Chains A and B, each alone.
Chain A
Amino acid sequence: MAEVYRLRSDPEHTAPALPLAEYQSGGTAVRLEAGDDARLLVPHLGTLRRIDIAFPKFREGRGYSSARILREAGFTGEIRAVGVLYVDQLMFLTRAGFDAVLPETPIDPAVAERTLARFPNVYMKAADSLQPIWALREQSNA
């Protein structure tokens, strides 16, 4: 594993993340496997500070839904994508609600910055605060 690429400014919460099956109420870090149901964590979001979500292979996409579900439920702690991930997926990850990535191969911060700044606007609402283009159009006509 390479280093964590973080988009948060708060101190890293370094507690080991327990697998969902071993997680007990009050724990502050948990790890979801790709097929785990993120909604099971909803009662615990107040105490959790970090949720790791596994991406065992590039094709794996369930974690994007898991992250969004957690953000939709109001989670504001760190959601960390862990596994086979590349810099070119950063926009998808951040828009789905991830704010940290622990990839197998290191992310070049310069490329990451370029990638995250690439698309000036977005077409659809997601877990970040970006307004969709239809809303921008609406505002410019108002």
Chain B
Amino acid sequence: MYRYDEYDQAIVDARVAEFRDQVERRLKNEISEEAFKPLRLMNGLYLQLHAYMLRVAIPYGTVDSRQMRMLAHIARRYDRGYGHFTTRQNIQYNWMKLEEMPDLLADLASVEMHAFQTSGNCIRNISSDQFAAAAADEIADPRPYAELLRQWSTLHPEFSFLPRKFKIAVTGSTIDRAAIKLHDIGLELVQNDAGEIGLKVLVGGGMGRTPMLGHVIRKYLPVADYLSYMEAILRVYNRHGRRDNIYKARIKILVNDLGAAEFARQVEEEWALVKPLGLDPPPSELARIAAHFAPPVLDANAPVEIDQSNPDFANWVTVNTHPHKAPGYAIVTISLKAPGEIPGDASADQMDIIADLAQRYAGDEIRVTHAQNLVLPHVRRADLFDLWQVLVSAGLATANLDRASDIISCPGLDYCTLANARSIPIAQKLAVKLAPQEADLGELKIKVSGCINGCGHHHAGHIGILGVDRKGEENYQLLLGGSGAEDATLAKILGPGFDENGIVAAVEKVIDRYKTLRADPAERFLDTYRRVGAEPFKEAVYG
């Protein structure tokens, strides 16, 4: 994976010094809170309901064991012993003290990590496919392209005060694990007729209060033109995106208002002007970055067949591992969704154990997924049993990947100032109720957001739940039929909302009806819904 050179390290170190300076000026009252707020936000520091919350960037969701141990150290030293992995592949800490932040950032910098641009109206952490470099279905590892973007977007002088936040996802596969149609910019590596890699560019997707799917504005962008083209998109957005209403300020609104074809035309026009400025690095820079992502040396003779006589182990292998591009290996997903626990939370001890496992069994790499789980990308199948036993003893062997209890949830009203309703308790109740029958239900993605901003991705849930405030009471809307994958669709509201117990009962009714409607046991809930439509489910829920 990518290692900093002296240039990268100097920038991160300077950022620590800068923030130390800013915090000192704030604590001495030389800067007002009003002036300080945007500065701390650019370092990922939010003031939440009970304390400061810090969001640490995990570029394209990749960390090594040394970095994971540092995340554990931060959880112990500065928080209450745990951290929360987010739907944008980052980690958040909920109990921060402002005066300790400079030391914390210095600790992060010592392992090539930072909190650059994890908040604010700027280009946020670049997200990517958690199976990068391991999945058999990819054209190329998307992470070098994401790292190039990370560097280009870090402290960008023109694009640090955009109309609104800006999220970019990159994938190297047609199987979309990065939800590229639901990002401000989605990039997919594609090949032209000559077999050269380029980028398919989608713009204008997003969730939040106005969910939209992105539009392809370029089918093939040569890599040599990558950054200047991004510059053109961002400039058109920065100049023309709406600034009069923060709810209409995302690029999706601009693209929708102009129409994708007109937006693309404006980008091409701007691009013609900026391309000659020499904004694109030479191919050697991408090659330099890509060399860092060379996969670990894999044993071509690693055995494929393994003893699966232990039924719990066999079940975990079936549910939580994916085929690796090398036959004797597997991609392991460690579920952070034990039913009844907080989705995406990991204790410092668990992080240390995962770091040890990554070092011992997985080429020293760990990935964070947008579904708030962790991945060990390169594990010999022959090591799976040993690894599983360690996971069992650490409470990390829940076999529920992409099943009913593998629920995405935002922090909700338990932590977040924006939330209208709690989401964690809904996720916990549903997970406990549904876990006993989830093997029968197969793939079922449930996603819970505590407000209309949609951090819990409810629009992309096969079953989505949105918490709203109704006359001072928490109220939960039920949405069906969403998907964030390559078959992306936006979920639709089924009908009137429910209270906390009512929403749990309603989801159970939907699932009971699905079981009577599915064409065969292999038909997923999403496919049944798409085949039969909303009516039968409406009838089941509302009678």
A residues neighboring B (CB under 8 Å): 34, 58-62, 64-66, 68, 72, 86, 88, 91-96, 105, 111, 114-115, 118-127, 132-138, 141
Contact = CB atoms under 8 A, between A and B. Distances in A.
A58 B154 contact: no
A70 B7 CA distance: 30
A125 B278 CA distance: 8
Contact of A72 (B35, B157, B273, B282): B273
Nearest to A117: B14
A59 B281 CA distance: 30
The listed residue with most A CB atoms (<10 A of its CB), out of B18, B157, B160, is B157
B155 interface: yes
Given A88-B22, A134-B282, A61 B162 contact: yes
A141 B238 CA distance: 35
B232 to A, nearest CB: 11
A60 B241 CA distance: 11
Which residue of A60, A64, A115, A135 has the most chain B CB atoms within 10 A of its CB atom?
A64
B116 to A, nearest CB: 11
A66 B5 CA distance: 33
Given A65-B238, A65-B239, A133-B7, A72 B274 contact: yes
B469 interface: no
A123 B21 contact: no
A134 B285 CA distance: 6
Contact of A126 (B7, B11, B158, B288): B158
Interface in B1-38: 5, 7-8, 10-11, 14-15, 17-18, 21-22, 25, 31, 35, 38
B282 A91 contact: no
Contact of B7 (A68, A91, A136): A136
Contacts, number: 109
Given A91-B157, A95-B157, A119 B235 contact: no
A128 B89 CA distance: 34
A72 B239 CA distance: 16
Label chain A's interface by main secondary structure.
helix
A118 B158 contact: no
Interface residues of B, number: 44
Nearest to A114: B21
Interface in B169-192: none
Contacts of B15: 119
A125 B21 CA distance: 26
| Chain B contact residues: helix, strand, loop or mixed | helix
Interface in B262-277: 273-274, 277
A134 B289 CA distance: 11
18 contacts: A64-B159, A64-B238, A65-B239, A72-B274, A72-B277, A91-B155, A92-B158, A92-B160, A114-B21, A119-B18, A121-B11, A122-B155, A126-B157, A132-B281, A133-B151, A137-B285, A138-B284, A141-B284
B356 to A, nearest CB: 34
B292 interface: no
A119 B8 CA distance: 11
Contacts of B227: 124
Contacts of B31: 86
B39 A124 contact: no
Contacts of A105: 35
Nearest to A62: B239
Contacts of A115: 18
Contacts of B38: 58-59
A83 to B, nearest CB: 12
A124 B7 contact: no
A72 B271 CA distance: 13
A125 B277 contact: yes
B243 interface: yes
Contacts of B238: 61-62, 64-65
Nearest to B156: A124
B160 A123 contact: no
Interface in B70-93: none
Contact of A120 (B14, B25, B161, B288): B14
B163 interface: yes
Contacts of B279: 124-125
A134 B281 contact: yes
Interface string B303-333: 0000000000000000000000000000000
A34 to B, nearest CB: 8
B494 to A, nearest CB: 37
B121 interface: yes
Contacts of B293: none
Contacts of A61: 121, 159-163, 238
A32 B73 CA distance: 50
A65 B243 contact: no
A136 B7 CA distance: 9
B220 interface: no
Nearest to B273: A72
A123 B21 CA distance: 22
A86 B35 contact: yes
B285 A119 contact: no
Given A59-B243, A92-B160, A118-B18, A123 B154 contact: yes
Contact of A119 (B11, B162, B243, B274): B11
Contacts of A64: 157-161, 238
B385 interface: no
A91 B156 CA distance: 10
B152 interface: yes
Nearest to B235: A65
B284 A65 contact: no
A66 B160 CA distance: 14
Contacts of B156: 123-124
A95 B154 CA distance: 13
A65 B155 contact: no
Contacts of A59: 38, 121, 161, 243
A66 B235 CA distance: 10
Interface in B227-259: 227, 235, 238-239, 243
